[in-house]
Structure 1
Amino acid sequence: MKAIVQDEYGSTDVLRLGEVDKPAAGEGEVLVRVHAAAVDAGFWHLMTGLPYLLRLMGFGFRSPKVPVRGREVSGSVEAVGAGVTRFRPGDEVFGFCEGSFAEYTCAPEDRFLPKPVNLTHVQAAAVPISAVTALQALRDAGRVRPGQRVLVIGAAGGVGTYAVQLAKAFGAHVTGVCSTAKTDLVRAIGADDVIDYAREDITDRARSPYDLIVDTAGNRTLSHLRRALTPRGTLVIVGGEGGGRWLGGTDRVLRALLLSPFVRQRLLGLFSAERQEDLRTLSELVEAGKVTPVIGATHPLGEAVEALRRLEKTHARGKTVITM
């Protein structure tokens, strides 16, 4: 079968469209014919192997342990292994997996759920990792409550577009931070206010302080972010870019965790988990019309490598999806 593979860590130059063996469904597993697969933020770290901490976590020290990229998927069940009871061939599903940038992928049945009936496969593929991350940042780490003032930094990105919509669904007053070209998008998905970071600062006292800041952009200092918080506000750092080759953006998370016990503000880093129960919650919100995936671009598998090269040099607008 055709797939986007890499044999070594590096830039998008290590990616290629190649032929690999079609997986088979083992006991408790589901083989899915992929219709669409989304690019999540973690893709870039798994591609480059940076920070090195990621390699020590079991993703492969010298080269990728799983050579096929992609971890979000929507498709139809092709076959099921022994013991599978929740799905049968032909069912439309979406969820988490390893190696979704391919014609077929395989994973345990508890990694999938029925595809929301009101979403296309392209839309459904864009939900699992990014939307679950946003949900956990707001509900679990941020403990968002109705009426709170919430600031979402990186509001036009994959996680950010979900964070804006979910914060509104939880009853918060939401301000999104994005570039000039994306302000209309952020307003369209429900933000009450928008900050163009090229023209304004998040610490502008006419807007701040905020009860909760969800930072998905990863380039502001802790001291700068804290100035935009209420005295007992909460900061949730989602991922991070830059930093050294060993810790990358996680060094900012570590500094936040070390500082938090000594200040009144809650400073947290989010290491999201791919939980089926959270994906089910999101599926219900999607079917209720409270959350809608934002798709920035779609590309067929045969053009995916070149598309990813272009995407490497830009800031994503919503989610990028690869179709089969």
Structure 2
Amino acid sequence: MKAIECLKYGAPENLVLNEVEKPSPKDNEVLIKIHATSVTTSDVLIRGLKASPVARFMVQLIFGFGKPKNSILGMVSSGVVERKGKDVTLFDIGDEVFAYGSVSPTKRHFGSYAEYICLPEDWNLALKPTNLSFEEAAAIPYGGLLATHLLKRTSLKSGDRVLIYGASGSIGTMVVQLAKNAGAKVTSVCSSKNFGMVHSLGSDKLIDYTSSNAEAQLETYDYVIDAVGNSKSSVLKEKSKKALTPNGKYISIDQGTPLTPKDAFINLKTLAEQEKIKPVIDRVYPLEKMAEAHQYVEMGHKRGNVVITV
């Protein structure tokens, strides 16, 4: 099968299209013919290994020194079940599915930058929402699960005021929608070119972080949610950390280890089918343009998700 392999950490050019052995499903696994995957910020961070010396060491301790132990990156997939192991009961051949290759910090499976992948049936794997294309389905798991992780650290209730810093990215666009579904009053921080899109997702107020009077537009919030983490900072972000009500809370995506439980994954599927959340896709690239897709994501200005068709 065709797959994109990461030959070593570093530049996007280290992502190379090769022919590799097609996987075979174990007794509890399904073999998925992948139709779409996505390039996430996490993928770019792993491939580029741009971090502090301590963080670089930790990344290599987990993923491999010098180059990834699993040379095929990618954790998001959508496609069709082509084969299944003898113990599989939840899926049939021909089922259209979508998946995220992680159910806990110790149970992860990369490999979606390829034509095929095998995953256990009880992992974050489900029938694809029928109202979404394969490309749209591939744009849900990463941002949706991380957004859910952020909001689970709140006690969000209807009427709460929430500021979302980085509202136009893959995580931020999902936080906006999930917070709005909970009845929050949402203020979104992003560039003005993304105002229309973020407003359509439910934002009540918008702040352009490049504006000269951005800090003056801050109010006080029950929750300030940082969906971009330490990779980006500004005077506005630093001031927003203190723009809290007496019992307010600042929450960053870089705090703690994100959890991706199966119930959260299934909830995203349900919300998508009910059209309570919708994936945002910025660009779509073919598999052979993976390096170009990584270059674009690395620039840090994508709207929502970058999807790869396989």
TM (norm. structure 1) is 0.86
Aligned twin of 1:2: 2
Distance 2:157 2:214 in 1: 21
Contact 1:203 1:228 (C-alpha < 8 Å) held by counterparts: no
Aligned to 2:221: 210
Shift of 1:57: 5.0
Indicate the residue corresponding to 1:306 in structure 2. Answer: 292
Report how far residue 53 of structure 1 moved.
4.6
| Alpha-carbon distance in structure 2 between the residues aligned to 1:159 and 1:176 | 12
Which of 178, 181, 184 does residue 196 from structure 2 map onto? 184
For the residues of structure 1 that align with 2:155 and 2:66, how far apart are their CA atoms?
A: 39
SS of residue in 1 equivalent to 2:241? helix
Contact 2:143 2:171 in 1 (8 A): yes
**Secondary structure at the counterpart of residue 144 of structure 1:** coil
Cα distance change on mapping 1:118 and 1:82 into 2, 3 Å: same
Match of 1:119 in 2: 132
Q: Is the 8 A contact 1:129 1:274 kept in 2?
A: no
Residue 29 in structure 1 maps to residue 15 in structure 2: no
Aligned to 2:105: none
CA–CA separation in structure 2 for the residues paired with 1:197 and 1:19: 44
Partner secondary structure for residue 284 of structure 1: helix
Query: 2 CA distance for matches of 1:210 and 1:71?
Result: 34
Decide which of 243, 255, 261 is 1:275's aligned counterpart. Answer: 261
Q: What pairs with 1:97-246 in structure 2 (closer than 5 Å)?
A: 97=101, 98-111=110-123, 112-138=125-151, 140-199=152-211, 203-204=215-216, 207-218=218-229, 219-220=232-233, 224-239=239-254
Residue 27 of structure 1: how far off its partner (Å): 2.1
Alpha-carbon contact 1:12-1:305 (below 8 Å) kept: yes
Q: Give the number of equivalent residue pairs.
A: 293
What is the TM-score normalised by the length of structure 2? 0.89
Residues 201 and 288 of structure 1: is their aligned pair in 2 closer, same or farther, counting only changes over 3 Å?
A: farther
Q: Which stretch shifts more, 306-315 or 11-20?
A: 306-315
Distance 1:299 1:32, change over 3 A: same
After superposition, the CA RMSD in angstroms is: 1.8
Matches within 5 A, 1:45-64: 45-49=45-49, 50=51, 51-55=55-59, 57-64=61-68
Structure 2 residues not aligned, in runs of 5+: 102-109
Question: How far, CA to CA, are the matches of 2:7 and 2:137 in structure 1?
Answer: 29
Residue 135 of structure 2: SS of its match in structure 1?
helix
Secondary structure of 1:110's counterpart equals coil
The Cα of 1:175 is off from its aligned counterpart by 0.7
Whichever residue aligns with residue 241 of structure 2, its letter is R
Residue aligned with 2:171, SS: helix
Tell me how far apart the structure 2 counterparts of residues 124 and 315 of structure 1 sit (CA, whole Å). Answer: 22
Give the AA of the match of 1:113: A
Give the Cα separation in 1 of the matches to 2:222 and 2:214: 13
- Matched to 1:148, the amino acid is D
Q: Which residue of 2 aligns with 1:244?
A: none
Runs of 4+ residues over 4 Å off in structure 1: 200-203
Match of 1:91 among 89, 95, 103: 95
Partner Cα separation in structure 2 for residue 194 and residue 126 of structure 1: 24
Shift in Å, 1:48: 2.1
Q: CA deviation at 1:202?
A: 5.8
| Displacement of 1:183 | 1.3
1:301/1:7 CA distance change after superposition, 3 Å:
same
> Within 1, Cα distance between the matches of 2:251 and 2:57?
21
2:187 counterpart SS class: strand
Percent identity (aligned): 38
Task: Determine helix, strand or coil for the equivalent of 1:143.
Answer: coil
State the secondary structure of the residue aligned to 1:34: strand
Q: Aligned equivalents of 1:92 and 1:75: distance in 2?
A: 6
2:17 aligns to what? 17
Give unpaired runs (5+ residues) of structure 1: 240-268
